[in-house]
Amino acid sequence: MRQLRTLALALCATACASTPADSTRSALDAALAGTHRSDANRARDAFRHPKETLEFFGFKDEMVVLELWPGGGWYTEVLAPVLRDRGQLIAAHLDAEASAYAKRSRTAYDEKIAASPALYDKVKVVVLQPPARIELGPADSVDMVLTFRNLHNWMQSNQLEAVFTAAFRVLKHGGTFGVVEHRAKADADDATVAKSGYVREQYAIQMAERAGFQFVGKSEINANPKDTKDHPEGVWTLPPSYRLGDKDRAKYQAIGESDRMTLRFIKPKGK
């Protein structure tokens, strides 16, 4: 706990002594280096490029940021400490009553938040469980909405359009919608490929624009040209899942994590 308090003080100190851009950069460095992150989570920085990704999205430490379906909280470990003093992190997680999986996932996340109040005491948790619970907050109330590797889930349940529409509504005019997703081959069949965890980049852009977002640009920060995208168990064949166990493990380890699109959208002013 003392180490967590030390990290929180370090984050505050860098924020108070720097310009907004510098304070965000310094706070990200401190959070990424924090002892609250496990070695396993830290090892994934090489594939997820959290600092570069957030900087591409225009992330700042005074923002109100909403993350959709944060899972086990990998990005929460980065976002929450940086936003704690000047901004706000809102996590739109599963409804624990929706299914056994949802209960396990939400319970684990809630326990993680409760275990480290020095870092996570100001994190607000809301429910996103489409189609039953899709309200993310008041209209035009957050500066940034982020989602990491979730589009395929919403595609499989035919809820992608509903989630994008809800994200558009809650975002302020001029605010950013940042998307990272496993990237399918350009000629892939959308209905089939989503089951493998991959999504076509053009389809993701098309659906976001249909919801009202304006496409600003993309980055190859999270690209992986080694990913052939034709694995027996889809994206979960690759690390860190290794769904095939030890079978061809060295082969998939050499590929690394999936090839990913990194897309930035805004909610146009006046819409």
Cα separation, 143 vs 16, in Å, equals: 21
The answer to whether residues 64 and 143 touch, using CB atoms and an 8 Å cutoff, is: yes
The answer to whether residues 151 and 179 touch, using CB atoms and an 8 Å cutoff, is: yes
| Both tokens assigned to 84 | 């704690």
Cα separation, 59 vs 53, in Å, equals: 9
Positive or negative torsion for Cα 80, 32, 250, 187: positive
Is residue 177 assigned to a domain? yes
Is residue 116 assigned to a domain? yes
For residue 32, the model assigns a pLDDT of 97
For the chain, give the longest Cα–Cα distance: 54
| Both tokens assigned to 107 | 């319970």
Cα separation, 231 vs 234, in Å, equals: 5
Cα separation, 127 vs 29, in Å, equals: 30
- Interstrand relation of 124-127 and 171-182 (parallel, antiparallel or unpaired): unpaired
CA distances to 130, 153, 208, 264 from 258, in Å: 26, 16, 22, 19
For residue 91, the model assigns a pLDDT of 98
Is residue 29 assigned to a domain? no
Is residue 139 assigned to a domain? yes
pLDDT per residue of the chain (271 residues) written in tens, 0 to 9: 544 544 544 444 444 434 457 889 999 999 999 999 999 999 999 999 999 999 999 999 999 999 999 999 999 999 999 999 999 999 999 999 999 999 999 999 999 999 999 999 999 999 999 999 999 999 999 999 999 999 999 999 999 999 999 999 999 999 999 999 999 999 999 878 889 999 999 999 999 999 999 999 999 999 999 999 999 999 999 999 999 999 999 999 999 999 999 999 999 987 5
Domain total in the chain:
1
Amino acid found at 192: T
Sorted by sequence, the CB contacts under 8 Å of residue 231 that are 6+ apart come out as 196, 237, 238, 252
Q: Kindly report the CATH number assigned to the domain that includes residue 68.
A: 3.40.50.150
**For residue 224, what is the enclosing H or E element?**
none
Is residue 27 assigned to a domain? no
CA distances to 49, 58, 187, 243 from 79, in Å: 13, 13, 35, 29
The answer to whether residues 179 and 208 touch, using CB atoms and an 8 Å cutoff, is: yes
For residue 270, the model assigns a pLDDT of 75
Is residue 11 assigned to a domain? no
Query: Domain range for residue 118?
Result: 42-266
For residue 18, the model assigns a pLDDT of 40
